Structure 1
Amino acid sequence: MATGTRYAGKVVVVTGGGRGIGAGIVRAFVQSGAQVVICDKDESRGRALEQALAGTLFILCDVTREEDVRTLISETVCRFGRLDCVVNNAGYHPPPQWPEETSAQGFRQLLELNLLGTYTVTKLALPHLRKSQGNVINISSLVGAIGQVQAVPYVATKGAVTAMTKALALDESQYGVRVNCISPGNIWTPLWEELTASTPDPTATVQEGTLAQPLGRMGQPADVGAAAVFLASEANFCTGIELLVSGGAELGYGRKAIPGTPVELPTIPS
């Protein structure tokens, strides 16, 4: 694989880097010339990606375990001598649930992964990012801003990631550390495939997901990877921003009423 020089000599940690959006981000940074540490709690897929991509190192890590994260950061700095960018991608989207089907325990577990995992990795990486005047990129979600049906815990955790990004950007500006987030819309990933397979009509679900974008397609992990490399390498006057990688899904009007919602039509003059 040919590599470029946009981020050559830099060291990047990508959490949840073993598949899907995370793997797309890993590939994009490798192509930019960076050394990339793949963090994932699934050893088999992490090792497979490490073997497939020169310029990567896999470190087994569950971001909900602080000791794992301490080891991730210390091993990265020990191996490469520096840390320039952390991409907090590790996260999960549960299957669709109405509010009454959720539980406080399930909500707590999702908070531990989607929000507190991002917080812990960032907090422990900051001393090294301050030395390099590096940057943090949090992977949030479009639905954190616009909402989503049957996804209260997920939307809440991702909305919090976006808000935390802005607060961290303010705190870290004094050290020259930039903090931004990417909010993907519909990106075709293994998780999207799994969620689709659990629906009554997978074909219709895929079509609905595709037609949600004015551009007429779902995004690919490489689209998110390209945005991450841009934020890390070239967006030097950007901090605290939310970059939507959504194909325009948030634009325009659409059919929004849930089936069964009472509908009141205006009276049409005769």
Structure 2
Amino acid sequence: MAVGGRYAGKVVLVTGGGRGIGAGIVRAFAQSGAQVVFCDKDESGSQALVQELPGTVFMPCDVTREEEVGALIADTLHRFGHLDCVVNNAGYHPPPQWPEETSAQSFRQLLELNLLATYTLTKGAVTAMTKALALDESQYGVRVNCISPGNIWTPLWEELAASTPDPEATIQEGTMAQPLGRMGQPAEVGAAALFLASEASFCTGLELLVTGGAELGYGCKASHRTPVG
């Protein structure tokens, strides 16, 4: 662990921190000098991260269960005495589906994980909730911001690509979706989270896009031609 880093002496809790973007966030805060507690359903990957980053603490937790989240926070406070930052990273990006292919139960489960536990379908709700919480929590001196990652090369992205008929073409399409000509890395999302926590002290209710500019321009937005008139 870094001594005297940008976030030294702070305690950070990261959900979904065992791999991918979450692991990048855990690394960024740990290397900045923070005490990091994280949870993830992938226990083997989480234990490997603890070995890589001595001083980090892994605690099993199902973030869709309120009582387990309460216990996670209580255990963190008992261990360290305070909590300075929470990064609600746990979430899931399902394979692309048309609305008529998605069951009501699947949508409820996606909302429960991506919104209540905190991509495409639920990200707008996360952004709206961020702004509402920023207003509500400002009276306590608490800032609430969110990060909207674009195509970040993670094990989940790789798994989703492998499930398509042409994985190489899928990866190439994902790579070329950004004007910067590449996908992002988990470490870059971690750096954004650390910036919001440690330096963006006058920012709240902010949505920070970490997308490589994928939302810019006039790229193809429709998969079929719609008749005019």
Matched, 1:235 2:224: no
Structure 1 CA distance for aligned equivalents of residues 191 and 110 of structure 2:
27
Superposition TM-score, scaled by structure 1 size: 0.81
The alignment-based identity, stated in percent, is 82
Task: Tell me the matched-pair count.
Answer: 228
Computing the radius of gyration from Cα coordinates, the structure with the larger value is: 1
Structure 2 CA distance for aligned equivalents of residues 205 and 156 of structure 1:
20
Q: Does the CA contact (< 8 Å) of 2:2 and 2:30 recur in 1?
A: no
Unaligned runs of 5+ in 1: 119-153, 265-270
Q: Does the CA contact (< 8 Å) of 2:2 and 2:32 recur in 1?
A: no
| 1:160 alignment counterpart | 125
| 1:139 alignment counterpart | none
Q: Give the superposition deviation at 1:155.
A: 2.9
Structure 2 CA distance for aligned equivalents of residues 33 and 192 of structure 1:
29
Give the partner amino acid of 1:158: K
Structure 1 CA distance for aligned equivalents of residues 2 and 74 of structure 2:
29
| 1:251 alignment counterpart | 216
Give the partner amino acid of 2:132: A
Structure 2 CA distance for aligned equivalents of residues 223 and 3 of structure 1:
21
Q: Give the superposition deviation at 1:101.
A: 1.1
Helix, strand or coil at the partner of 2:148: strand
Q: Does the CA contact (< 8 Å) of 1:21 and 1:224 recur in 2?
A: yes
Matched, 1:172 2:137: yes
Deviations 1:122-179, CA, capped at 9 Å, x for gaps: xxxxxxxxxxxxxxxxxxxxxxxxxxxxxxxx43322111100000000111111100
Go from structure 1 to structure 2 and tell me whether the alpha carbon gap of 1:4 and 1:254 turns closer, same or farther (over 3 Å shift): farther
Helix, strand or coil at the partner of 2:208: strand
Go from structure 1 to structure 2 and tell me whether the alpha carbon gap of 1:55 and 1:28 turns closer, same or farther (over 3 Å shift): same
Please tell me the root mean square deviation across aligned C-alpha atoms, in Å: 1.4
Deviations 1:60-110, CA, capped at 9 Å, x for gaps: 001001111011001101111110000000000111211121100111111
Q: Does the CA contact (< 8 Å) of 1:3 and 1:30 recur in 2?
A: no
Give the partner amino acid of 2:87: V
Helix, strand or coil at the partner of 1:162: helix
Helix, strand or coil at the partner of 1:44: helix
Structure 2 CA distance for aligned equivalents of residues 97 and 216 of structure 1:
26
Structure 2 CA distance for aligned equivalents of residues 41 and 198 of structure 1:
21
| 1:106 alignment counterpart | 106
Q: Does the CA contact (< 8 Å) of 2:18 and 2:45 recur in 1?
A: yes
Superposition TM-score, scaled by structure 2 size: 0.96
Helix, strand or coil at the partner of 1:60: coil
Q: Does the CA contact (< 8 Å) of 2:17 and 2:23 recur in 1?
A: yes
Structure 1 CA distance for aligned equivalents of residues 137 and 77 of structure 2:
20
Which ranges of 4 or more aligned residues in structure 1 deviate by more than 2 Å?
Answer: 1-4
Between stretches 206-215 and 14-23, larger displacement belongs to 206-215
